[in-house]
Structure 1
Amino acid sequence: MAVPAIVLFFLFHTLPALEGVFYSFTDSTGYGDWKFVGFENYVNLFSDDSVLHSYRFTLGFAALSTVVVNAISLAIAVCLTRNIKFRGLLRGIFFLPAVLATIVIGYVFNFLFSSGLTGIGRSLGISWLSDSILGNPHLAWLGVVLVAVWQSCATTIVIYMAGLQSVPGDVLEAATIDGANSWQRFWRITFPLLAPFLTINMVLSLKNQLMVFDLVVALTGGGPGTSTQSISYLIYHNGFTGGQFAYQSANAVIYFVVIAMLSLVQLRALRAREVSA
């Protein structure tokens, strides 16, 4: 029964990936004749300013977004596990971004940043709110981070809530009897027991943020200039419309290696923390 799924996976995932690796050693533009150039594409990547800038932006964006997403999600999950009014409704509201298409979210926030907030700023005479941050090369990254965090929190909140519900209540009750306050109970008992859930969220968050593409397309298109150009967007844009098919295929191979290495290092470090916790 698994054979059809394996065949489809190979045809639509593994085979294209292997073809990309093959073409990364050529000078192909995506059509016409081509010839082998060896490692020339890979060597040129390390001296290409646009590629290096995209890596700096993507790595910085992913690191910041991952930390902010997990911090906010954990705080919200803790609040939602307590006895507060409309807890069920709030859970549904917080999970809403997970069921919306990323490209739709991007265009909605593009409108909010470009027309909604700027219109409010001009009507109220607030100068710093009158101009869209997406048009500012120094602040456009902030808009991408805000939207990415808003969307990513949905699933991480659910995972943290599942982890919090697995914490034994009798342990927390015993700590309360021993005189531990709420912060001590969280930091000494709850947080260490959440280590496996923290590992899942951190690894998935970093991987997803490193692969940011839809939000960049809808919010900034990589601009202003190339200030918010992620690696995925650079590979897509220059590979399919810039005549750099083979060159960006090599970039995609390097990109895959970077994501795999970062994920393995992060997983190893967090798993070691689980053991020590």
Structure 2
Amino acid sequence: MKNRQRAFMLMTIPALILFFVFHTYPALQGIYYSFTDYKGYGEWSFVGLKNYFNVFQDERALQAYGFTFQFAVVATILVNVFSLLIAIGLNSRIKFSKTLRAVYFLPNILSILIVGYIFNFIFTMFVPEIAQVLGINALAENILGKPDVAWLGILTVSVWQAVAFNTILYLAGLVTIPEDMYEAASIDGAGVWRKFWNITFPLIAPFFTINMVLAMKNFLMIFDHIIAMTGGGPGTSTESISLLIFRGGFEGGEFAYQSANAVIYFLVIVIISVVQLRYLQRREVEL
């Protein structure tokens, strides 16, 4: 038995080494460089907390944080609402429910970049043409080219693709609810809304917590959709924190500065996730 456990331990060593080399070490290196004036090349020197203070004085960084938070909050709410509605529909006794589950999950396995490029073409060509025919002036032009509403195009595609995974999680929670509870509620005269609020939602509350935390975390890290659809434009109207860090660090000679921004960004995501988790877990107990 001990030999078997030792063999399993040895099998994990290559994975641990690779994880450390390609994940942990670069992360620690980034934290180290965040206290310097390193540009990604050449000589450098220590500057202490200067980069961290500069982030809070950088209007472009603050704008990116504002856009990212706005996008993440709206997208998280929409994804969970749509996912829960679809999951409840698919969990009911309708024809081809298993086939529909596979169809709804398809967006999750598609490449984000490919989906983004496809929808970029749709918003540029198809939507304006259809809108002109129908007389919808608001959509007669490419919305991705308008600073005020470009984020709505990204939001639409991001929510559409994210709904797939969240729906699967909600379905996993719904199948754990005994059918007898709904039958008893029907006998007592409970309606659809009362069944949902008093039976369905309290029993799937842990799945709701997981979905809310994961969705918020993923949307705070939005990057691929923006790269494929707007590139952060028009101007910097759809520039997320991830995109700002990438461009400034690898293209703008701000490696150390954006490393500090990345550390702050990481801490913000951790704090938001922990606060979400604790608050929603307390709500689970109350429900």
- Structure-2-length-normalised TM-score: 0.94
Tell me the residue number matched to 2:75.
65
Give the Å deviation of 1:128.
2.2
- Choose from 201, 219, 223 the match for 2:233: 223
Alignment of 1:165 with 2:193, yes or no, is no
Alignment of 1:18 with 2:28, yes or no, is yes
Tell me the residue number matched to 1:5.
15
State the AA in 2 paired with 1:88.
Answer: K
Q: Structure 2 unaligned runs (5+)?
A: 1-10
Give the whole-Å Cα distance in 2 for the aligned partners of 1:54 and 1:168: 46
- Choose from 96, 100, 103 the match for 1:93: 103
Give the whole-Å Cα distance in 2 for the aligned partners of 1:198 and 1:8: 34
Q: What are the within-5 Å matches in structure 2 for residues 129-208 of structure 1?
A: 129-208=139-218
Alignment of 1:46 with 2:56, yes or no, is yes
Residue 168 and residue 125 in structure 1: after superposition, are their counterparts in 2 closer, same or farther (change >3 A)? Answer: closer
Q: CA offsets, 1:140-174, max 9 Å, x none? A: 01111111100000010011011111011111111
Give the Å deviation of 1:124.
4.7
State the AA in 2 paired with 1:198.
Answer: F
Give the whole-Å Cα distance in 2 for the aligned partners of 1:271 and 1:231: 28
Alignment of 1:80 with 2:90, yes or no, is yes
Using the TM superposition, name which of 179-188 and 65-74 deviates more.
179-188
Give the whole-Å Cα distance in 2 for the aligned partners of 1:175 and 1:91: 27
Using the TM superposition, name which of 164-173 and 38-47 deviates more.
164-173
Query: Is the partner of 1:65 in helix, strand or coil?
Result: helix
Give the whole-Å Cα distance in 2 for the aligned partners of 1:275 and 1:127: 49
Give the whole-Å Cα distance in 2 for the aligned partners of 1:219 and 1:253: 27
Q: CA offsets, 1:52-94, max 9 Å, x none? A: 0000000110011001100010001101111222222211111
State the AA in 2 paired with 1:85.
Answer: K
- Structure-1-length-normalised TM-score: 0.98
Alignment of 1:28 with 2:35, yes or no, is no
Using the TM superposition, name which of 185-194 and 79-88 deviates more.
79-88
Give the Å deviation of 1:123.
4.5
Give the whole-Å Cα distance in 2 for the aligned partners of 1:171 and 1:107: 46
Give the whole-Å Cα distance in 2 for the aligned partners of 1:128 and 1:172: 45
Tell me the residue number matched to 1:242.
252
Q: CA offsets, 1:8-45, max 9 Å, x none? A: 11110000000000010111110001111111000011
State the AA in 1 paired with 2:63.
Answer: H
Give the whole-Å Cα distance in 1 for the aligned partners of 2:16 and 2:45: 32
Give the Å deviation of 1:180.
0.9
Give the Å deviation of 1:126.
3.7
State the AA in 1 paired with 2:225.
Answer: L
Residue 129 and residue 26 in structure 1: after superposition, are their counterparts in 2 closer, same or farther (change >3 A)? Answer: same
Give the whole-Å Cα distance in 1 for the aligned partners of 2:155 and 2:226: 10
Give the Å deviation of 1:127.
2.6
Tell me the residue number matched to 1:103.
113
Q: Structure 1 unaligned runs (5+)?
A: none
Give the whole-Å Cα distance in 1 for the aligned partners of 2:149 and 2:18: 43
Give the Å deviation of 1:125.
4.7
Query: Is the partner of 1:147 in helix, strand or coil?
Result: helix
CA RMSD of aligned residues (A): 1.0
Residue 10 and residue 119 in structure 1: after superposition, are their counterparts in 2 closer, same or farther (change >3 A)? Answer: same
